[in-house]
Structure 1
Amino acid sequence: MQEEKGRMRSDLAREVHDQLKERDLVLKDWERRLEQQEQSFLRMKSELDEEVKGRQARISETEAMLAEKVQAAEMSYAHHGDSMTAAQHGLEKRQHEATQVEQDLEDRSRKQARREEALKEERASLQVQQKEMENRAAALGKTEIELRERELATSARLEGLHKREKLVEQARRAAADQQAELQVRGGRQSAGIRSLLRRA
């Protein structure tokens, strides 16, 4: 019985250890993946911010340059009508490029928002899995406590049996002592009777 209890405790301890080790490996893997994704997201955000700043600077420079050209064209419009037309065409072209840049930035922003949403969903999934592993660990702990309670109850029963065996052994010894004493007395009485018979 002691060997069986030892095996049960060893098996339960090994199962708890294996499941906790498996949970730790899963959590470490998810943490590593989240850290990699966060680093990638931060790099992408930094690159996008730098690109936005550069494009905004170029747009500002272009607008300033175009404003200067338009102002110069307006001043010389009476004598350089053709130049004014060309400048206007150039302005429209630059405005079209600026519009295209703004659309590109909006597309980048939408992609970034989608990536952030995917990261949130992945985090939520990891939290759910972590909660499940914690529940499993708690259930295993409860099972171990029940096994220990059963072990204590069995030990108490065994102790009671040992006490009963000791009492039975004591009773047997007392009976054997009484029987030996009766045999000694019987022998003495037989010797006395034989002595009386010889005298008679």
Structure 2
Amino acid sequence: MSRRRSPIATSLASSSWRSSDVAPSSTILVFGVSGVGKTVSCEDYVSRHPEWLYLRASALLAEITGETPESLRTETAGSIKSNQNLLGEALRAARAKQGQRSILLDAHAIIDNDKALVEVPLEAVADLGADAMILLEASAQDLAQRRAQAHRRRPARSIDQLTREIAAESQTVAGYARKLKIPLASAIVGASFSLDPIIDKLAPKLAQPAG
């Protein structure tokens, strides 16, 4: 059963807590607009912390539906929301194969389907049983540059469009944390960014029970 805690606005001050203090089988949702650096940051973290596993929501849904991530992204708003309700089941199936490892789940609160910005339903996020959330952010200008330089194809968007999507992602994730009473930490992704300080700061909220 997920452990519900009060939402927090986490600063990145130094902490004596470390990821090793986190209770086994914890789940942290990592949000952020496509191209912000979630994949690189999460892969870097799990490469140095083998007790953690990195999963992508889009890959889990592709596996359970038999569709490609791109076809899932560009479906109608109604289909996107319906598909997101399958994610909890897919995550539980993936977790069952991993024993006590904790999970970083690369997720989206807002999905750009080329027609509109589609909000992932609160109920779908609640079904993931998350213990904490992380929001990774960057300026619209930095995001546009990263998308242009990335090997993975992403939709071309103006600075104004990216600004609106960044704001929508931030507001929606904050709403999830508030309504579900889950700790939330955010960080700006810059050069040499690492998830270590932010997960270390969340560790007291995810600590293994004493005794």
- Fold similarity call, TM over 0.5: no
TM-score by length of 2: 0.20
When Rg is computed on C-alpha atoms for both structures, the one with the higher figure is: 1
**Larger proportion of helix:** 1
**Larger proportion of strand:** 2
TM-score by length of 1: 0.21
Which structure has more RCO (C-alpha within 8 Å, separation ≥ 6)? Answer: 2
